Amino acid sequence: MIKVSVMYPNTPGARFDHTYYANQHMPLVKRKMGDFCLSYTVDKGLAGGTPGAPATYIGMCHVFCDSVESFQAGFGPHAQQIMGDIPNYTDLSPIVQISEVVVG
């Protein structure tokens, strides 16, 4: 299984609507990807690792798929619509990473 992590840097002054992200955007991703998206999680950054330090990422999601090919098959056809929804909740550009789920 693989995980696609989408991580939004916690840039001072940036806009990020956590409610829209969790209640509108991620359900849209799941609806468009269908069974290619096995599940997903959503995080809201609270703090960094040392006292008083800010979170590195203001928000993250992790999309779980059987394989990279499975992600591409589910996301690719809807990429334009899904990416087009991003300005509805943020003006940030995310960092994207694909990982192998070693312990799930």
Q: Which is nearer to a second copy, 50 or 80 (CB)?
A: 50
What's the closest the beta carbon of residue 3 comes to a second copy, in angstroms? 6
Is residue 49 a contact residue for a second copy (CB under 8 A)?
yes
d(CA 33, CA 6) in angstroms, rounded, equals 16
Is residue 68 a contact residue for a second copy (CB under 8 A)?
yes
Rg (CA), the chain: 14
Is residue 100 a contact residue for a second copy (CB under 8 A)?
yes
d(CA 66, CA 43) in angstroms, rounded, equals 21
What's the closest the beta carbon of residue 97 comes to a second copy, in angstroms? 5
Closest CA relative to residue 20, chosen from 28, 10, 12? 28
d(CA 92, CA 85) in angstroms, rounded, equals 12
Which positions lie near a second copy, rule CB under 8 A?
Answer: 2-3, 5, 7, 18, 22, 26, 40-50, 55-57, 60-61, 68, 94-104
